[in-house]
Amino acid sequence: MTNDAAYDALIIGNGALGLALGFRLAQRGQRVSIVGPSGRRFSASQAAGAMNGTFGEVTRDLLASAHGRQKLEMDIAATDLWEGWCEEIRDAAGEPQASLRRKDGTTIILNGGGTDAVDTENFVAIREALSEYERSYQMLEGHEVPWVTAQGGNRPFQGVHIPDEHSINTPVYLPTLEKAFRSVGGLMIDGLVQKIGSPRSSETGWVELADGRKFYAHNIVLAAGALSHDLLASSLPEIAPYVPPVTSGYGASVLLSHGAVPAPPSVIRTPNRAFACGLHAVPRKEGIYVGATNKLQEKPQLFAHVPDLHALLERAMRQMHAGFGTSGVLAVNVGNRPVPVDGFPLIGALPDTRLWMLTGTYRDGFHQSPYLADKMAEAILDGVQDPLLEAFAPVRSPIQSGRRDDIIAAAVDHALAVGFEAEWRVSVRWPTRIAELLATKYRHAVEDLHDTITPPPDVLVCMSDNDWLRRKLRGYYDVYSRKRGFSDIRPQIDVA
């Protein structure tokens, strides 16, 4: 393809976000191509439980942060779009009967597998947010929670059912969305992008694939998930240092056969805990989806780690349904969530270019995809920048989602929650002592990193044991400490 035959937009990444934006741009008459490996082997979307998690994702720390509340408002806006979005996708794909979404609601359980410092406080935060935003919910006593047959002390104490928080049937949804994109003139290119030539001013940009093919476009969107920052750094080294590095939130999940287990009547999940999205079971046509682990890694992972699968299956049997002992493993899913080092998404254009970023959404990308597709299309085609997204511009000062002492305390709480969920056997004196040791370790690690900036709890814990993440953070923070190149911007200490 030559410059004369350039696309209007070329999207790097064929997950839920890239496909949604491609569909919306092509609908508006743009010549759009989406580039990515057809198997989506590094994608988070392919492996997602795809819960429409809005209030189910609420935590005490989210509500305490101004940026966290912005993220919640984006989730709420997305919730209100999904019904119409699914109808649009089905109509465009010519699949009016396609089962894209299960509308069963979500039941969140507070059970004995967690801790007061994490599970109870997050459960209360969920209930408070539902009331504050005037959303429908029903409180349940432990014995009223349906389906769950937990063992011993893992039984649920309370539950909250959210009737409007559903789940997406990913095995049907992604192919249907791809078909809808093709039906409005979009083109899929199977390949792995190796380098980007950024479009500037009136110039046309380009992408080069690993096999040598080259494609041109007036706008290029980087929606390659956990691979996005590495691709940016290799292509635009003068800009990349000012963008928060993106790590891979590797996660494993399984699809189980029913065995002696009936299908859950809705999504059943715990609050977010132990640096992850909690334990959850999602009804699927083929069986029951159970997820999910979360571990920050330097590079995206292709295979599930044995200890993670062992822990996930054991917790599913203990906390969700003892009958899973009769189930078979139909599939093991591996996904790589894009996790910026400050914990917030990267959305918008890079300075003086028409290279856009749509990534860093961590666990929210699938759910927010209809909303972000609309807003990004408006920004690209109409020059309209939604105020809700301005704080998440890719080139920005580091966002700190609370005071240093509070972040360290949250890191300790979640680290201890990992042990309690694994039913560790320690003397009653040891959790307090372990907490003191961890707090000292994390404080020393972050004080050695930077005088004032503190990364979010999950990044802090990973950084304290990993040189590769420490180097990424130090390089990013040093750019802003020296105030080179871009405007004089200071770290945002973000407390709502």
Indicate the pTM of the whole model.
Answer: 0.93
Per-residue confidence (pLDDT) for residue 234, from 0 to 100: 86
- Which of the 8 DSSP states describes residue 149? B
How far apart CA 183 and CA 181 sit, in angstroms, is 5
> Cβ neighbours of residue 17 under 8 Å, at least 6 residues apart?
45, 223, 358, 359, 361, 365, 366, 369, 372, 373
3-46+171-246+342-390: CATH homologous superfamily?
FAD/NAD(P)-binding domain (3.50.50.60)
Please name every residue paired with 250 in a beta bridge, in sequence order, or none if there are none. 295, 336
Nearest to 266 by CA among 421, 91, 89, 137: 137
* Angle, vertex CA 157, rays to CA 151 and CA 159, nearest 5: 110
Specify whether the CB–CB gap between 66 and 339 falls below 8 A.
no
CA 194 to chain centre: 24
- Which of the 8 DSSP states describes residue 316? I
- For the stretch 438-485, pLDDT in tens is 999 999 999 999 999 999 999 999 999 999 999 999 999 998 877 554
> Cβ neighbours of residue 251 under 8 Å, at least 6 residues apart?
44, 47, 276, 291, 292, 293, 294, 295, 334, 335, 336, 337
Specify whether the CB–CB gap between 286 and 171 falls below 8 A.
yes
* H-helix or E-strand spanning residue 36: strand 32-36
- For the stretch 225-262, pLDDT in tens is 989 999 999 888 889 999 999 999 999 999 999 999 99
- For the stretch 30-83, pLDDT in tens is 999 999 998 777 676 666 778 888 999 999 999 999 999 999 999 999 999 999
CATH number of 102-168+248-339: 3.30.9.10
Phi, psi of 206 (to 5 degrees): -150, 160
What count of other Cβ atoms lies within 10 Å of the Cβ of residue 45?
A: 25
> Cβ neighbours of residue 425 under 8 Å, at least 6 residues apart?
none
Q: Quick one: tokens of 490?
A: 């200071």
- For the stretch 265-279, pLDDT in tens is 999 999 999 888 889
* Domain chopping of the chain, boundaries: 3-46+171-246+342-390, 102-168+248-339, 400-487
